[in-house]
Amino acid sequence: MEEENHLIKDRIKKLEELRKLGIEPYEYRYEPTHRAKEIAEKYSTLAAEEKTKDKVRVAGRLITFRRMGKATFANLQDFTGKIQLYFREDDIGKQYELLKLLDMGDIIGCEGIIFKTKTGEVTVYVEKFMLLTKSLRPLPEKWHGLKDEELRHRQRYVDLIVNPEVREKFVMRSKVVEAMREFLIKDGFLEVETPTLQPIYGGGAAKPFVTQHHALKMSLYLRISDEMYLKRLIVGGFDKVFEICKDFRNEGIDTHHNPEFTMMETMSAYDNYEDSMKRTERMFEFIAKKVLGTTEIEYLGRKLSLKAPFKRLKMADGVKKATGVDFLKLKDVEEARKVARKFNVEIREDMGIGAIMAAISSEVVEPKIVEPTFLMEYPKEVSPLSKPMKANPEFVERFEILICGMEFGNVYSEGNDPAVLRENWQHQEELLKKGNEEAQRTDEDFINAMEYGMPPTSGIGIGIDRLAMLLTNTDSIRDVIFFPTLRERE
């Protein structure tokens, strides 16, 4: 820390010297004509020591400096990559002395011609330059391999400067969203926006964040899902809608969870969950091809195929194979509890057979699923917004998409019988009273909307952060969120 303070003081001193010379250390504007990557590609065929007459203007951050008497080599980094700079005292005259007042991390603009060095590196032969921004804090020399992951996440701006591969990961994430949007629009969906602040939270099992609107003197919740409002739009006559938005859940933080996360949700009228299954696997295949150029990927050492169709597995079948117990035949909840205890699955006293089966699936079945798989037919008890199956109303038309033990999406045929929804929510309210903070609330306005009539509908919910993890081969959600939620500094 003492050494860093000394370096900062030295840089401030240089800043003051620049101002004495009439040089503004925080310029207002600069107009580059080329980017680093563009130059490197365009002039890659130059012969060693070949010089052009082509003039360029580049701007970026100095990341290396090699002074050698009357000549100086440096590397400038912009958003696209790095380009070498060559300064020669005989060519730039008095400006050469200003190099002494520059440091690594400073942002400069340079104008010059292109040539290739003896060693074959495309370089800008600088004819003039200007300081655009003086950097007061030195870049960490040993940032690469830094073991303090929290520091990297807390100071993401530095992480992005010194680790180009991190920047590339976020570019890839952006392309994932772009490809998803393209797929949906081509499939006839309309992009919409729904409220982030909601008077009643709904659309999932989660503890919400609550805030106060002082002017209206009422509590509002940060949405845990946008599902309920998308369905209102279907009632209003829209056939296909989607939204890419931030959702918020007041839950713990781990490699797969962040309290603020990005979701894509659709609603499609006249569809059921089978239609959504086909759309989901087509969407994953499209995004992989668009972003990576292939459906054959590797994730954390495992080779996977995102080519449709994906595998299908009924939850009851998965639990039966893993535990040897057929939950479809169980009548006594105590028998279900015994199975949970045997496999060290934590359950609550208020959980019925269906909820216990779902808990066992979550702990015992899902972590072992590697290939893209639709885990289907969830118990009604844990799916209050889903449509019951005709063959067995104790189960619903719902699936989750699982890859390498991680859930990427939750999808179902939407319940649209207002009486059934009210009954399911009454059960949820009872769970809430018993202390289940993730139980859902009764939304009277939503029931009112359902009483006007919603056509058969199915929606898809996909976690974009997790999809970005998959397609960038990343093991932590914090590495695909620019500024993840972190604990306060101690």
Domains and CATH numbers, the chain: 2-133 (2.40.50.140), 162-310+371-479 (3.30.930.10)
The mean pLDDT of 146-171, rounded to a whole number, is: 86
How many residues appear in the chain?
A: 490
* Helix ranges (DSSP H) in 344-443: 353-360, 418-433
Select the more confidently predicted residue: 384 or 33: 33
Q: How many CB atoms lie within 10 A of CB 39?
A: 23
Q: Which of 229-243, 419-433, 454-468 has the lowest mean pLDDT?
A: 419-433
Q: What are phi and psi of 154, to 5 degrees?
A: -70, -35
* Helix ranges (DSSP H) in 102-155: 149-154
| Contact assessment for residue 195 and residue 245, using Cβ atoms and an 8 Å cutoff | no
* Helix ranges (DSSP H) in 21-60: 36-42
Q: How far apart are the first and last CA of the chain?
A: 17
Interior/surface letters 369-386, b for 16+ CB within 10 angstroms, e for the rest: beebbbbbbbbbbbbbbb
The mean pLDDT of 25-42, rounded to a whole number, is: 97
| Contact assessment for residue 249 and residue 203, using Cβ atoms and an 8 Å cutoff | no
- Counting DSSP H helices and E strands in the chain, the numbers are 15, 18
What is the C-alpha separation between 273 and 270, in angstroms, rounded? 10
**Local structure of 166: helix, strand or coil:** helix
Whole-model pTM? Answer: 0.92
Residue 142 has pLDDT above 60, yes or no: no
> How much is the mean pLDDT over the chain?
94
What is the C-alpha separation between 223 and 194, in angstroms, rounded? 10
Which one-letter amino acid corresponds to residue 77? Q
Angle at 290 between CA 286 and CA 295, to 5 degrees: 60
pLDDT value at residue 1: 65
DSSP state for residue 307 in the 8-state scheme? P
pLDDT digit string, tens, across residues 290-306 = 999 999 999 999 999 99
Local confidence band at 156 (pLDDT 50, 70, 90 cut-offs): very high
Name residues whose C-beta falls within 8 Å of residue 426's C-beta, 6 or more positions apart in sequence: 442
pLDDT digit string, tens, across residues 394-446 = 999 999 999 999 999 999 999 999 999 998 888 888 888 888 888 888 899 99
What is the C-alpha separation between 260 and 55, in angstroms, rounded? 46
Which one-letter amino acid corresponds to residue 186? K
Residue 145 has pLDDT above 50, yes or no: no
| Contact assessment for residue 319 and residue 364, using Cβ atoms and an 8 Å cutoff | yes
